[in-house]
Chains A and B, each alone.
Chain A
């Protein structure tokens, strides 16, 4: 249960950073926190009390003793995609800084069209 609660808390902190913070890097950190929280949530959904990792070995050959592999596989994808999204965001931030000389989103107002 604590896993759920802390995952939700992490998500909440992330959303808070996303809205309240004015600094672009803080905003990206907020995004990253949301992603981490969601990954934690998904993996903890798949957890089953008293079962082991879904990897067969010479000791563990019984499939009924394993936790759910599907959330883990999904989270694997999610982490990689999160990292690539982050790299892209970081590149944007650096470019914005080059152009405007600031990280404060209140001063970067060219999103209007």
Chain B
């Protein structure tokens, strides 16, 4: 037994065990979640240390090497996502412990929330560690079904419609992804990413496979114009679920997209595809921001912000590829996008948790009602402001490091357009987040009902997440070096 095998086993199985236990013991959800957090965090810490000291970890499941078996691979990228997920899930579950508490008799939502949340975590970890396209498909399906269920957990007509709408995109996305994977296996006899890297491009049909995979994953990542499902779904779910859905779930399909283009098929990327993806990202950014400006409900603002923020994840494609081949700054684009994905996960989850606490206090999330909420929830508003700093990309947050890396790559690659879009994104984020913040700090109306009290301990969780997003920027050198471990060559040499 090696330490790395133990760490991987803990990370992969602890959330799943937790979910099964929660399914069995209806009213023990919070306690089981706590145990899961401890076990998974332990595994994550061990894994991080191993990756940092010994480099990327490879493990053949069951001892069967590729192409026969499924390979697990934990490089810096995987480690970064797993650690961020653990942090975000820990905070979310801590906040969820009260609204989904066990109670004397079992309640429906309190019963199903815990296994679903833990399954979501397990699915994410399975995806982040997998090196096999078909295994990724199964993980993605698990994630999707759980996410759809969480969207519908409130059981209202609107949330069920949102869940169904999400389900349509998700079903279409998985089918297309599966189609691509089937074509790749038919052509190359393997779905192992490392082996595919040597073979993809030799078959003419690979383009069809790549197109299907890209289209399917883009639909799941809610890239514009496939985002229509996202705002109603993310804003309709209970806050802890929204935090997972917005902060973590879209990152999984984006992560697969990264693995696919940068590791399995770097030679397949034509400049047209890269520009198309980047262009849709830029459009998503402007469009999501404008619509965020127009919303009157806090959760909708945050959800449209996700549409915008997911948009500039896709800048990685034009910046990492294109004309200036073998440019050292492609790694800047790659690292920048990952920094953005990680800091956005923390900040967005924090924001949704804040929104949840505000709803607990005032009963709704309409903006006018938030006036002066800082008096009742100082820590929450502070956390929201810190998260906003990250989303705006202001220094010294992780969002700033991301923006800085991507901007530098953009100028070095001679494509200043993307840098200008990033600046615009920051300005627009400042505009749409200014309104809730200004209201939160304003004097409350005389006749406004007094907000309900929310315990400080629960306000601490979103604050911790927001602080983590800031710390990611302040101490960015170490995470920067970490995610470079086992970095694919295409991240440096550029796609194409």
Q: Do A and B bind each other?
A: no
Interface residues of B (CB under 8 A from A): none
